[in-house]
Amino acid sequence: MRAYDIFLTFFVVVDPVGLVPLFGALTAGTSHEYRRRMAVKGVLIAALVLLFFAVSGFAVLRILGIGLAAFRIAGGILLFLLAIDMVFARHSGLRTTTSRETEEARGRNDISVFPLAIPLIAGPGALTSLLLMLSAAHGRFIAMGLPLGILALVLVITLVVLLLSERILALMGETGANVVTRLLGVVLTALAVQYVLTGIRLGLLYRP
């Protein structure tokens, strides 16, 4: 995949703009220092989770006997469901926390691990997309460095957005953030369908 396509995929599934109202709700009434600490810690933990998944993900697939074609189809379906949530601004628990999880998070002193790092940043969509991107590199270390580097860039953008969340929310409002998320969801729908079609093609080509 081209660098632009990789960036677009990661940017859509992480959805830094869509995190703004969620982060604002979770940190309402707290100090600027607390919000800054939670943003930095949350992004760092998410980066570690994604890196661990990048290293161990393929080994888990091999142990379970799951082929790349099947994983591409399953990943495409998962991303398609994620895109539906984004387009209709639904809170199903796939890309956001459930209402009970949100209430639980509000009672915590530290939201960096849950729900910020997992599942808001390093959620199912980001984890699946990462493995899909790495699988396209076919084990070439230089090619694998491209999606990892682009993912790091998206995480840096996410950190900056979270640090500026108050200003962004004041400028755009929750409605504006939802509009951007809906537009990104439409793009993700097309990407998800492409993953499914690629998986089907690979399954037909390498069918025993």
- Using one digit for the tens of pLDDT, what is the confidence trace for 110-140? 899 988 999 899 988 899 999 989 987 766 7
pTM: 0.84
> Which of 43, 33, 64, 173 minimizes the C-alpha distance to 116?
43
- The values of phi and psi at residue 164, to 5°, are -100, 20
pLDDT attached to residue 56: 93
Token pair listed for 47: 């980066």
Q: Report which secondary-structure segment, H or E, holds 55.
A: helix 32-64
pLDDT attached to residue 97: 61
Domains: count for the chain:
1
Query: Residue 20: which domain range?
Result: 3-205
Q: Report which secondary-structure segment, H or E, holds 15.
A: none
pLDDT in tens, 24-62: 988 988 899 999 999 999 999 999 999 999 999 989 888
Say if residue 109's pLDDT is above 80. no
pLDDT attached to residue 102: 62
pLDDT in tens, 85-102: 888 877 665 566 666 666
